[in-house]
Structures are given as C-alpha cells and as structure tokens.
C-alpha cells in the first residue's frame, strides 16, 4: 500500500479524546484531524466502507 498522506478520511470523532477513528481503521489524533472534513481527495477505503454501510 502506498502512502495515504493527504487523503481525506471519513470517520467519527471521539468526544472524550478528540481523536478521530476513520472508517478504514486509522486513528487520527485530534490535533492532526482536518476540520471541517474535506471530501477530496477521498480515501478509497473509507469511501468503500461508506458505500457498504449505505447498502445495508
Ligand atoms: Zn481512510
């Protein structure tokens, strides 16, 4: 897998730690998280998980 630096992940922010858990399984420290979340260039793994959830 190549570097995912610069990709925009989708995830949910933990309100108690401020860290963001992305749909592709990464943990992004709150201080490194982009806010508000941009949508491009989107992380393909996050997008795939999002699509899979929509289909359920
Ligand atoms: Zn991702």
CA of 49 to the centre of ligand 1 (A): 9
Task: Tell me how far CA of residue 16 lies from CA of 10, 25, 26, 28, 39, in angstroms.
Answer: 18, 18, 17, 14, 25
Question: Which segments of 1-56 are extended strands (E)?
Answer: 11-13, 20-22, 27-28
CA of 54 to the centre of ligand 1 (A): 16
Predicted confidence (pLDDT) at residue 1 exceeds the cutoff of 50 = no
Give the model confidence (pLDDT) of 7-38 as tens digits.
888 888 888 888 989 999 999 887 766 655 56
Q: What is the pLDDT of residue 39?
A: 65
Q: What is the pLDDT of residue 32?
A: 67
Predicted confidence (pLDDT) at residue 46 exceeds the cutoff of 90 = yes
- Is 9 strand, coil or helix? coil
CA of 40 to the centre of ligand 1 (A): 12
């Amino acid at each position: 897998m190549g570097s995912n630096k610069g990709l925009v992940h989708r995830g949910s922010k933990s309100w108690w730690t401020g860290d963001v858990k992305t749909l592709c399984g990464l943990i992004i420290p709150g201080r490194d998280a982009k806010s508000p979340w941009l949508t491009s260039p989107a992380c393909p793994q996050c997008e795939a998980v999002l699509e899979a959830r929509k289909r359920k």
